[in-house]
């Protein structure tokens, strides 16, 4: 191998360099390293010839890689087994194998200069330049090439303090350093060292060589960004503060770092360390050769609990910087990370030792027990099977998921349920000191129906206010023309013609007139007969009996009932509540109240006729008016209150009937109840009367509406008994004195003598018809309120009927009642139903039956829920109890399954019990 020798000519010129020393030392260090890297340092002799200068103190320190140079010398020195690495000028040695720190300003005497040349070991060493020319020359092929002044006086440097050495260099900035052919420093403070090196950014450093290809293109060692550093062959630092070290290394992002041959840092703040390491995304790190990192920030980690990506967006679960890679998974290159201590913080790495410790803990499993007893270990791969103790509870699990469902059976079997002092069993619900709903019926207590809303539709129930309003409207239409005569009302035309559509009892200025000795009218849907007090009294007493709760009807007066019912809250709490009307106790009687309204309207139509006329064909008094087939029914007004008693035959008026109806509405009863999970429909028994007055037999109805339909039928039949009396008015006083005479126009004229008015007393027949000659109905006005009693036969007037209807509407509540037109409006009742799943749903009902059915279903569901709780309690007590019956020995054993030799009955204060 060719050996090289160095001749160093050192002349001291006592002048200071114009450059700062840190720049000079960096340049010298880099230059020496670059130079020595191309010199083969082997064991060889080194000849040193100083020419004409007297040699002094030039020594080659054998074995310590240094040459000591003192004063200028012209002696020869030989070295062996040494690597030339250090020069000493004067009394100072320079170690060029170390960093540039070996060339401190104080190590070289002030003003010293040295020149040098290179020659092969076989060539003579001689000065190439005169001793007064302070330059360095490179001998290549025997041809000296002037490089530049290595160390010159301050006056010989560029005015911008730049340092340029090399062939065809390109200097464009100030304070730059260029060393090497075709090197370029293109901005201030740039450093380009090496062939085809280029430092383009401010403060950039490019150290290394580029190449020129066969086709003439050039590849540089390139530092492009501000303060960027490119160190190595074909190395590129392309962005600000980027650092690239190695051959074909590239740092393409701001503040990026690439170290190692062919490593690439492609994004800002990316780091690639190792041969062919690649960091793709911002802040990513690729560690080790062939490592590849392309995972960006913002990636959620794997959650074992979710078995997928974590939903927590905190920085513990979601990365805020790009990934660190120590391998290349797509290319099958992976590494182990060894020497990792066990992590302690949430963000520390865990090692295998920690994972093994966790595995040991997991393998222990967990314990399963019930009630703190019979604990057994369950490992991670064991199966836990859940089973119900009886058929009241069903446990299921879906095939496609891990959801376990606990459901109550549709039919739960319990013997009895107790809530405090209240009992719920197969016979029904018994609330202590409160209502009872049993198979024998419902005992609600003395309660009435209040809060009934006004009815709107034709089948809606009406309240008392509506009945009062309707009856008041009816009363206003009554025009009294006579106090003692039953006359057709007159029209308001010029000749005061007879109004066959209206009959008024008594005079306009007189009080209501009682209609006595009224035969029982037919009670049917088609009946228009007058109903007497006895019929109303019987109906009222029957209804009072059906309502229960202390309800009664005596001497035309109702005694309202009181119901004590329980209210079960959402949480199962039972509260006693006092009601005095059906509407508040059972908000679901809408349909039945509507039917009652229909009944009341039918009765009102049957009573309200124009006049009473005897009809030979019908054999009764009728209230129709008109001619022939055009006869229409009429109203009977101003009927005095009839006697309400068992033997009364007096007609009752509307006010009496209204009062009765008002009271009747508060008594629902009828055997309604709850049995076997179903509501028992109430049964109402109503006496029925035919058109001919026969009948009187009881007929059962399942709802209030149907019962009042029967009442309406009786009223209708009574009305039909009041036949057209146009040609045969038979109204007389007692003692046979004719009270009325027929005059022209079919009108009646009152005799002077007065007495009790009798209709048809001297004539046969059992019915009275007041239809006109067109078979049209008439209104009988001036009817005094008839007596309402079991034996009453008095006619009732509109006021009585309105009072009853209004009272009934009040008891039913729910907006039931008569409107200003006398039309019945049914109430609207709402019930909160308890479903079998425990939920509460509010539903509206239009009938008592539907309401009771909903209430019954709620009781069933409540019973089932309570039964389930009781069953659970009984089961738990049975399993945990120390007192058990031994079926084999027929003995009661205490603590036979436990150890110990004592039994204590002491209380919590260790006191003995009796």
Which of the residue ranges 504-518, 842-856, 886-900 would you say has the lowest mean pLDDT?
Answer: 842-856
Nearest CA-CA partner of 612 in 737, 726, 754: 726
User: Locate tokens 């004539």: which residue?
Assistant: 763
In terms of phi and psi (left: phi > 0; alpha: psi -120 to 50; beta: otherwise), the region of 348 is beta
131, pLDDT greater than 50: no
Last residue of a domain, one of 807, 825, 843: 825
Nearest CA-CA partner of 555 in 656, 631, 639: 656
Instruction: State the DSSP string of 89-154.
Output: ETTEE--TTS-GGGS-GGGS-TTEEEEEEEEETTSPP--SS-TT---EEEEETTEEEEEE-SS--G
Q: Where are the beta strands (DSSP E) in 121-234?
A: 136-140, 143-148, 163-165, 170-171, 177-179, 184-185, 191-193, 197-199, 205-207, 211-212, 218-219, 221-223, 229-231
Q: Between 590-607 and 848-880, two packed helices, what is the crossing angle to 10 degrees? A: 150
Measured distance CA(153)–CA(16) in Å, rounded? 7
61, pLDDT greater than 50: no
Residue 44 DSSP SS3: coil
Tokens of 848: 């008592």
Q: Is residue 858 part of a domain?
A: no
The CA distances from residue 185 to 118, 190, 233, 371, 537, in Å, are 27, 5, 17, 86, 127
Measured distance CA(637)–CA(780) in Å, rounded? 4
Which of the residue ranges 179-183, 558-562, 685-689 would you say has the lowest mean pLDDT?
Answer: 685-689
Residue 36 DSSP SS3: helix
The pLDDT of residue 633:
74
Q: Is residue 21 part of a domain?
A: yes
> Could you read off the pLDDT of 419-478 as tens digits, one per residue?
887 888 878 888 777 777 788 876 754 545 567 688 888 788 777 788 888 777 766 655
Last residue of a domain, one of 825, 844, 863: 825
Measured distance CA(793)–CA(790) in Å, rounded? 9
> Could you read off the pLDDT of 281-311 as tens digits, one per residue?
999 999 999 999 999 999 988 888 888 998 8
565, pLDDT greater than 70: no
Longest Cα separation, the chain:
190
The CA distances from residue 482 to 142, 262, 485, 504, in Å, are 165, 130, 5, 7
Q: Is residue 322 part of a domain?
A: no
**Cβ of 40: how many Cβ atoms within 10 Å?**
11
Per DSSP, the chain holds a count of helices (H) and strands (E) of 10, 69
Average pLDDT over residues 752-758: 53
Tokens of 182: 């075709």
Q: Is residue 417 part of a domain?
A: no
Measured distance CA(134)–CA(770) in Å, rounded? 158
Average pLDDT over residues 174-195: 94
Tokens of 315: 């920085």
Q: Is residue 280 part of a domain?
A: no
The pLDDT of residue 584:
64
Contacts of 883 (CB under 8 A, 6+ apart): 892, 893, 894
Report whether 831 contacts 588 (CB < 8 A): yes
Average pLDDT over residues 207-229: 89
Q: Is residue 213 part of a domain?
A: no
Q: Is residue 881 part of a domain?
A: no
Q: What is the length of the chain? A: 914
Measured distance CA(485)–CA(260) in Å, rounded? 133
% of the chain with per-residue pLDDT over 90 = 16
Nearest CA-CA partner of 554 in 657, 644, 467: 644
Q: Is residue 80 part of a domain?
A: yes
Report whether 532 contacts 792 (CB < 8 A): yes
What residues make up the domain containing 117?
1-157
The CA distances from residue 727 to 247, 497, 724, 730, 733, in Å, are 140, 17, 8, 9, 19
193, pLDDT greater than 70: yes
What is the four-CA torsion angle of 125, 129, 130, 133, rounded to 10 degrees?
A: -130
The pLDDT of residue 443:
74
> Could you read off the pLDDT of 600-612 as tens digits, one per residue?
444 444 444 445 6
| H helix or E strand, kind and range, residue 295 | none
Contacts of 115 (CB under 8 A, 6+ apart): 8, 9, 10, 11, 127, 129, 133, 134, 135, 136, 150
Average per-residue pLDDT in the chain?
69
Contacts of 904 (CB under 8 A, 6+ apart): none
The pLDDT of residue 182:
93
**Cβ of 26: how many Cβ atoms within 10 Å?**
19
The CA distances from residue 18 to 94, 111, 149, 160, in Å, are 21, 12, 13, 11
Domain count, the chain: 2
Name the β-bridge partners of 787.
Answer: 642
Tokens of 180: 């090497």
CA 656, 658, 660, 662 dihedral sign is negative
Name the β-bridge partners of 358.
Answer: none
Last residue of a domain, one of 157, 188, 209: 157
């Amino acid at each position: 191998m060719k050996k090289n020798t160095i001749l160093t000519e050192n002349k001291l010129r006592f002048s200071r360099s114009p450059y700062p020393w840190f720049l000079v030392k960096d340049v010298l260090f880099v230059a020496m390293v670059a130079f020595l890297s191309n010199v083969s340092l082997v064991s060889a002799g080194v000849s040193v010839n100083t020419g004409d200068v007297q040699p002094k103190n030039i020594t080659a320190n054998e074995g310590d890689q240094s040459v000591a140079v003192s004063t200028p010398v012209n002696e020869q020195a030989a070295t062996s087994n040494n690597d030339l690495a250090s020069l000493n000028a004067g009394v100072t040695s320079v170690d060029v194998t170390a960093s540039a720190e070996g060339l401190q300003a104080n190590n070289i005497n002030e003003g010293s200069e040295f020149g040098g040349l290179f020659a092969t070991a076989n060539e003579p060493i001689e000065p190439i330049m005169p001793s007064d020319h302070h330059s360095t020359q490179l001998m290549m092929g025997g041809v000296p090439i002037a490089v530049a002044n290595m160390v010159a006086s301050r006056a010989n440097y560029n005015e911008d303090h730049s340092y340029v050495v090399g062939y065809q260099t390109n200097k464009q900035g100030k304070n730059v350093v260029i060393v090497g052919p075709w090197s370029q420093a293109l901005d201030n403070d740039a450093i380009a060292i090496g062939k085809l090196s280029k430092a383009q950014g401010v403060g950039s450093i490019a150290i290394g060589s580029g190449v020129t290809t066969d086709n003439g293109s050039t590849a540089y060692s390139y530092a492009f960004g501000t303060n960027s550093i490119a160190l190595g062959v074909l190395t590129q630092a392309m962005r600000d503060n980027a650092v690239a070290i190695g051959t074909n290394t590239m740092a393409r992002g701001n503040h990026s770092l690439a170290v190692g041959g062919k490593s690439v840092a492609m994004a800002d703040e990316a780091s690639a360390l190792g041969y062919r390491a690649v960091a793709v995304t911002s802040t990513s790190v690729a560690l080790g050769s062939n490592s590849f990192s392309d995972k960006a920030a913002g990636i959620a980690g794997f959650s074992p609990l979710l078995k997928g990506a974590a939903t927590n967006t905190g920085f513990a679960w979601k990365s805020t910087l790009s990934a660190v890679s120590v391998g290349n998974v797509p290319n099958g290159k992976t590494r182990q990370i060894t020497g990792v201590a066990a992590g302690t913080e949430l963000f520390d790495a865990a090692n295998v030792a920690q994972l093994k410790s966790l595995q040991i803990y997991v393998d222990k499993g967990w314990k399963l027990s019930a009630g703190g007893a019979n604990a057994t270990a369950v490992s991670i791969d064991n199966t836990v099977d859940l089973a119900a103790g009886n058929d009241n509870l069903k446990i299921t699990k879906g095939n496609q998921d891990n959801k376990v469902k606990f459901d109550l059976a549709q039919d739960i079997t319990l013997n009895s349920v107790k809530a405090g002092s209240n009992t719920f069993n197969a016979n029904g619900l018994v609330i202590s000191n409160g209502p009872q709903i049993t198979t024998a019926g419902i005992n609600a207590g003395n309660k009435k129906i209040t809060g009934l809303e006004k009815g709107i539709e034709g089948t809606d129930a009406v309240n008392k206010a509506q009945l009062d309003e309707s009856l008041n409207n009816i009363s206003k239409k009554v025009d009294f023309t006579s106090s003692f005569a039953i006359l057709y009302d007159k029209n308001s035309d010029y000749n005061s013609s007879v109004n066959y559509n209206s009959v008024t009892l008594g005079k306009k200025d007189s009080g209501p007139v009682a209609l006595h000795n009224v035969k029982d009218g037919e009670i049917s849907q088609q009946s228009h007969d007058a109903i007497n007090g006895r019929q109303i009294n019987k109906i009222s007493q029957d209804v009072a009996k059906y309502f229960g709760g202390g309800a009664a009807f005596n001497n035309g007066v109702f005694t309202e009932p009181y119901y004590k019912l329980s209210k079960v809250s959402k949480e199962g709490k039972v509260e006693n509540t006092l009601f005095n009307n059906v509407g508040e106790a059972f908000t679901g009687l809408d349909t039945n109240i509507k039917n009652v309204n229909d009944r009341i309207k039918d009765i009102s139509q049957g009573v309200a006729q124009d006049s009473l006329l005897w009809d030979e064909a019908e054999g009764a008094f009728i209230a129709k008016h008109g001619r022939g087939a055009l006869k229409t029914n009429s109203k009977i007004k101003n009927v005095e209150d009839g006697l309400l008693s068992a033997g009364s035959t007096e007609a009752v008026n509307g006010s009496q009937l209204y009062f009765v109806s008002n009271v009747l509405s508060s008594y629902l009863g009828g055997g309604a109840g709850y049995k076997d999970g179903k509501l028992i429909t109430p049964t109402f028994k109503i006496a029925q009367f035919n058109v001919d007055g026969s009948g009187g037999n009881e007929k059962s109805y399942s709802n209030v509406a149907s019962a009042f339909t029967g009442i309406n039928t009786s009223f209708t039949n009574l009305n039909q008994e009041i036949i057209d009396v146009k040609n045969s008015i038979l109204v007389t006083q007692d003692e046979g004195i004719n009270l009325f005479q027929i005059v022209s126009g079919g009108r009646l004229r009152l005799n002077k003598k007065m007495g009790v008015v009798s209709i048809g007393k001297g004539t046969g027949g059992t019915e009275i018809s007041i239809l006109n000659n067109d078979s049209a109905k008439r209104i009988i006005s001036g009817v005094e309120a008839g007596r309402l009693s079991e034996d009453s036969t008095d006619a009732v007037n509109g006021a009585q009927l309105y009072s009853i209807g209004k009272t009934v509407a009040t008891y039913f509540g729910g907006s039931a009642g008569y409107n200003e037109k006398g039309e019945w409006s049914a109430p609207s009742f709402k019930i909160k139903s308890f479903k079998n799943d425990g939920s509460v749903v509010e539903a509206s009902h239009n009938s008592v039956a539907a309401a009771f059915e909903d209430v019954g279903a709620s009781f069933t569901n409540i019973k089932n829920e309570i039964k389930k709780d009781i069953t659970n309690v009984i089961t738990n007590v049975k399993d945990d109890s120390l007192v058990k019956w031994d079926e084999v020995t027929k003995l009661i054993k205490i603590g036979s399954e436990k150890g110990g030799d004592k039994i204590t009955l002491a209380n919590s204060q260790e006191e003995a019990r009796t």
